[in-house]
Structure 1
């Protein structure tokens, strides 16, 4: 049984858990069974649940010394996005260690987090230690699609397992981000909402050579042009405001909340962490119409990737409806609201303290994730969800290019740093 975090992560990377979306997946079963076996070996009984063949989820609970305290949920996903081996420098499912990095699909998204948690539990088992509060573990399937076989299914069918959990930690936060001579560690305290829309325009089908003033393609393209021209105003959520103020103070950059764009332009590389979360967005991503060049189709469809902020959902949808006009109807393909956890809380303070114990120069700030995670499922249970999967990253390493990118890899020493930080946080 592997004990070192690098060996654990390498073993997890060797399981092909590719999620192609739309229900097509290699399946998480073998990876789930590996994780469950490791938990059982360190004295944490685990259960594997499959809502569909091969779509494995692992649930477990680590009892604390003070069981009356609210429990903490630690969640991470077992599935990964596809990887084209022809594009990679190494086989994407070989779990190869090279040049100080562990290479493979899922190295940072997010089998590293699973390996770090398993390594912490192994240390506790060998040293006879227990956490103060119960730690609930959920290593889930299907995060890279819609969670229908993972977190959302667990919330719908096994909510009782999470009873007593008031707070959760998951992906996308706690990693070092060099900004000048400072190291900023963003901890996720919010996520933009995800609303995927299908737009449909209908018209009169006919021959491509004949005049047609009721062309569905023309209607749809005009509506998309209007959607693309929407000016989304700056909206500062508590998380984004705190990020801007604290990063500005750390970098000694003047902060003008009346001109947020100019302010974050002075943040250098840190601007990338906030620039997509000061506004809502509506981005056309898919177009479908027609089947033959000389035939005007009777309908045309498009899909929009809409990202929302707390308190701005109704206004955004009203602006989209106004842009679409009467000739185009919309329907939701997915509709998940924004997530917001308290910025000023003992939990955030404990994460910051654990990071600073390992890196005294750490500048720990809250941030809003531009995309989405399984926090959207677990927040439905009233759980405050944070992004905290700590890593120490070397200069020149572009963390944000790794998830879903070619040659995904995680620094070996960064993994060991993460184990130490999680041990401190989860123990206390």
Structure 2
């Protein structure tokens, strides 16, 4: 049984757990059985639950020395997005070691975190150690789609497994971000909500050669143009405000909250961490209309990726209604609320301390994730959810391009750093 974090991660990458969405997935059961087997070998009893055949989730609990304390949930997904081998320098499921990196789909999203957690448990078993508080582990399916076979299903059907969890950690935070000679570590304390919309315009069908002032395609196109051109106002949530103020202080950059865009520009590369989270966003992504070029269709539809900041959902939906106008209707395809956890909390302090234990010069700041994670499901249980999957990243490494990108890879030494940080956090 592998114990080294790199070997564990490579083994997980070699299990093809591609999730194509719409219920089309593979390999989740094999990955779950791999994880469960490792847990069992370390004396941790796993529970495997399947909402549908082969859509497998693993839940386990590691008892702490002080069971009166609230438990910490560590949640990670086992599925990955598709990868085309023709586009990659190595096969995406090879788990190949090359040039100091471990390559493969899931290397940073997020089999690295799964491997780090299993590595910590191996270290504890070998050294006769354990956590201070109970640690609840959830290795889930279907994060790369709707979560209906993974986190959302667990929350809907197995709430009692997480009843005493005070906080959770998962992906998208705790990695180093080099700015000049400084290392900034953003810890996710919030994430924008996801509200996918379908817009529908209806008009008068007819021949393409004839004048038609009630053309559904034109009505929808004009609505989408207004929506795409609209510049949403700056809305500084507590997390984003804290990120700007604390990052500015650490970098010695003047902060002007009346000119947020200018301030982020002065942050250099670190500004990219917040540029998508100072505003809501409404991005048209899909269009469908017509069936023949000389026929004006009676209906045209579009889908829009809408991301909402905490506390702004009602305001944004009102703005969307004004922009699309009365002749276009909207409906939710998915409506997941924003997530926000306390910034100045013992949990955040513990994460910062764990990072500084391995990197004394670490500048730890809160930040808001622009996308979404399974925190949206677990937060509905009243759990404070944080993005904390620590990595030490070398200069020139573009972390943001790795997840869902071609040639996804993670630095070997960064993985080992992350395992040590997690050991520090989970132990104490």
Q: TM-score range by the shorter chain?
A: over 0.9
Task: Kindly indicate whether residue 388 of structure 2 is the aligned counterpart of residue 388 of structure 1.
Answer: yes
Matched residue, 1:317: 317
Conservation of the 8 A alpha-carbon contact between 1:106 and 1:112: yes
Task: Verify the 8 A CA contact 2:97 2:103 in the aligned structure 1.
Answer: yes
Question: In the alignment, is the contact (CA less than 8 A) between 1:69 and 1:133 conserved in 2?
Answer: yes
Provide the residue aligned with 2:54 in structure 1: 54
SS in 1 for 2:167: strand
3-state SS of paired residue (1:258): coil
SS where residue 154 of structure 1 aligns?
helix
Tell me the SS of whatever aligns to 1:129. Answer: coil
TM alignment of 1:43-192, pairs within 5 A: 43-192=43-192
User: What CA distance in whole angstroms lies between the structure 2 residues aligned with 1:414 and 1:311?
Assistant: 36
> How far off its partner does 1:25 sit?
1.1
1:267 alignment partner in structure 2: 267
Q: Measure how far apart 1:395 and its partner are.
A: 0.8
Q: What is the aligned partner in structure 2 of residue 416 from structure 1? A: 416
User: In the alignment, is residue 20 of structure 1 matched against residue 14 of structure 2?
Assistant: no
In the superposition, the TM-score normalised over structure 1's length comes to 0.99
Aligned counterparts of 1:302 and 1:395: Cα–Cα separation in 2: 41
SS, match of residue 321 in structure 1:
helix
- The ranges of structure 1 where at least 4 consecutive aligned residues each deviate by more than 3 angstroms after the TM superposition are none
CA displacement at 1:352 relative to structure 2: 0.4
5+ residue gaps, structure 2:
none
Q: CA RMSD in A?
A: 0.6
Query: Do the aligned partners of 2:15 and 2:27 also contact (CA within 8 Å) in 1?
Result: no
Query: How far is the alpha carbon of 1:414 from its aligned partner?
Result: 0.4
Contact 1:281–1:306 (CA under 8 A) maintained in structure 2:
yes
**Paired residue total:** 428
CA contact (8 A) 1:185 1:362 kept: yes
Shift of 1:190: 0.3
1:331 Cα shift?
A: 0.3
1:98-135 per-residue CA deviation (whole Å, 9 max, x = no partner) reads 11000000000000000000000001011111111000
Measured after TM superposition, the shift of residue 371 of structure 1 is 0.2
Deviation of 1:229 after TM superposition, in Å, equals 2.6
Q: 1:253 — aligned with what?
A: 253
SS in 2 for 1:189: strand
5 Å-filtered alignment, 1:255-334, equals 255-334=255-334
TM-fit CA distance, 1:231: 2.6
Contact 2:184 2:365 in 1 (8 A): yes
Deviation of residue 152 (structure 1)? 0.3
Q: For residue 200 of structure 1, report the CA deviation from its aligned partner.
A: 0.4
Q: CA offsets, 1:287-324, max 9 Å, x none?
A: 11111111111100001100101111111100100111
Shift of 1:230: 2.1
Aligned partners of 1:56 and 1:141 also within 8 Å:
yes
Question: CA contact under 8 A between 2:198 and 2:332: conserved in structure 1?
Answer: yes
Q: Residue 230 of structure 1 contacts residue 319 of structure 1 at CA under 8 Å; is this kept in 2? A: no
SS at structure 2 position matched to 1:74: strand
Report the counterpart of residue 242 of structure 1 in structure 2: 242
The aligned counterpart of 1:352 is 352
Provide TM-score, normalisation by structure 2.
Answer: 0.99
1:166 Cα deviation from its structure 2 partner: 1.1
Q: Secondary structure at the match of 1:403?
A: coil
Q: Which residue of 2 aligns with 1:42?
A: 42
Partners of 1:331 and 1:297 in 2: CA distance: 20
SS at match of 2:60: strand
DSSP 3-state at the match of 1:105:
coil
Q: Indicate if the aligned counterparts of 1:74 and 1:135 stay in contact, CA closer than 8 A.
A: yes
Indicate the larger mover: 230-239 or 336-345.
Answer: 230-239
1:335 paired residue number: 335
- TM-superposition CA deviations, 1:63-105 (whole Å, max 9, x none): 0010010000000000000000000000000111111000000
Measured in 2, the distance between the counterparts of 1:34 and 1:27 equals: 11
Q: Residue 6 of structure 2 aligns to a residue in which SS? A: helix
With 320-329 and 380-389 compared, the bigger mean Cα shift is at 320-329
Alpha-carbon distance in 1 for matches of 2:298, 2:131: 62
Aligned pairs for 1:394-405 within 5 A: 394-405=394-405
Q: CA deviation at 1:240?
A: 0.4
CA–CA separation in structure 1 for the residues paired with 2:198 and 2:317 = 13
For 2:235, what is the secondary structure of its paired residue?
Answer: coil
Q: Partners in 2 of 1:88 and 1:310 — Cα distance? A: 37
Contact 1:27 1:56 in 2 (8 A): no
How many Å separate the matches in 2 of 1:27 and 1:228?
38
Q: CA deviation at 1:279?
A: 0.5
| Deviating more after overlay: 174-183 vs 17-26 | 17-26
Provide the rounded CA distance (Å) in 2 between the counterparts of 1:143 and 1:161: 19
SS in 2 for 1:197: strand
